[in-house]
Amino acid sequence: MTDRLLGKVALVTGAASGIGRATATAYAAEGARVVLADLNTERAEQVAETIRADGGHAVAIGVDVTVSALVRRLVERTVAELGSIDVLFHSVADVPFVNTQDARLTELDEQVWDRMIRLFLTGTFLVCKHVGRQMLAQRGGSIVLVATTDALVGVAGLDAYTAAKGGVLALTRSFAAGMAPDGVRVNAICPSFVTTEPQLEWLANSESRALIDRLHLLPIPTPEQIAPLAVYLAADESDAVTGSTFPVDSGYLAFKANLDVMGAMRATEGHR
């Protein structure tokens, strides 16, 4: 263990898997006491047990970030048990829902739109609202939100998801401006395709893997390759950084490809 986050309390949402899991583990390895919040409490507790076995401090708490009262209770319990919230890393996602239900607006089911906005944008609002109030009381803190490169470029067939995540990026800038006088920083990480658990089965298909490889200059990043940036943004060494967006995308944004990603993904699914 090192001490870049020693003495800090970090709340990580979506901590049971993927980027949230990797970041919670990295925060604990850097000395933070970590609360792992997730809808899947059992899986979050498994991650917490692994962190504790490695000498870290971790607590798992169940939460649905789309319910304000549950988010408020999460914040209250975290402060009651650990004394503060110095870092928020918000990474809640439902990858299978996005991959199978999103569509062009003209074909998009309105219930899908509502759930996408509720989960990714309203959920971000609620977590930032309640954690932000605690950080205002402390006069300090770092908030790190997970958006996506798909909110920075057009991606056919992902209209609801990109709208929600585009809202997260706009919120990052405005919230950072509003919170800066009170010592709270707000930044966003924009990953591209990442080898999270929900994607592994799809990546095991050679056609699917070749499709995604064509969109990246470097190998597809792992969750563990996103976590170091999350550590930097949480640590005191990034005290001059706020309102910024950081792509971690293996070159995804660096070149063009004439490819209907979602259409191709679903076509390969149909051939399995």
Q: Is 161 a catalytic residue?
A: yes
> Of these residues, 27, 161, 232, 252, which one is catalytic?
161
CA distance 272 to 166: 32
Residue 115: Cβ within 10 Å count: 17
Q: Catalytic residue numbers? A: 161
